[in-house]
Amino acid sequence: MNRHSLNIDYIQSPKDHLDRTDALLVVKATEAAQNAYAPYSQFKVGAAVLLDNGHILTGSNQENASFPAGICAERSVIAYTHANYPTSKISAVAITASPCGICRQVLLESEKRAGSPIRVLLINENEVHIFKSVKDLIPFGFDSF
Ligand SMILES: [Zn+2]
């Protein structure tokens, strides 16, 4: 038997200390949350993706009376990104909440497709937690062995 431990290295930054690109991603994700359709949970989430070509795309959660048919902000923007920019790589994503397990798995797959780490910015009211890779959020994701 071997004992192991995981350490997750991340940056906790006040919003007003971010560099220009991260600050813009935070603004875009926050603005995108206003487009959420969340009549059931009242929990509006926005996500913004930065592509390697410099484009920023956004998404928001879109709920449905048939709950499983709803989709989280992260998956709405990830699907749009891959459908419309199939050759672009995602280099960063900013989210106005902490992603659910399904979204972490989807982000992990996007990171695998990109072939390089996707920086993840998790936004709360006054600060941002910045992770260097999706793997930091789902270290034992499906297909990671
Ligand atoms: Zn989710």
What pLDDT, in 10s, does the model give residues 89-117? 999 999 999 999 999 999 999 999 999 99
- On whether residue 47 sits in a domain, the answer given is yes
Instruction: State in Å: Cα 19 to ligand 1 middle.
Output: 26
* Whole-number pLDDT of residue 143: 82
Residue 38 lies in a domain: yes
Residue 59 has pLDDT above 80, yes or no: yes
**In this structure, what CATH number is given to the domain that contains residue 98?**
3.40.140.10
Catalytic, out of 31, 74, 109, 127: 74
| Nearest alpha-carbon partner for 123 in 23, 38, 56, 20 | 23
Secondary element (H or E) of residue 101: helix 101-114
Distance 100 CA to ligand 1 centre (A): 4
Residue 89 lies in a domain: yes
Domain that holds residue 115: 19-134
What is the average pLDDT across 7-36? 97
Alpha carbons 34 and 94: distance in angstroms, whole number = 15
Domain presence at residue 2: no
Does residue 120 fall inside a structural domain?
yes
Average pLDDT over every residue of 113-140? 96
Compute CA 70 distance to the chain's CA centroid, rounded to the nearest angstrom. 17
Mean of the per-residue pLDDT values for the chain? Answer: 96
The Cα–Cα gap between 145 and 130 comes to 25
In a domain, 25, yes or no: yes
At residue 87, the pLDDT reads 94
> Counting Cβ atoms within 10 Å, is residue 144 exposed (0-12), middle (13-18) or buried (19+)?
exposed
Domain count, the chain: 1
| Residue 12 forms part of a structural domain | no
State pTM to two decimals.
0.95
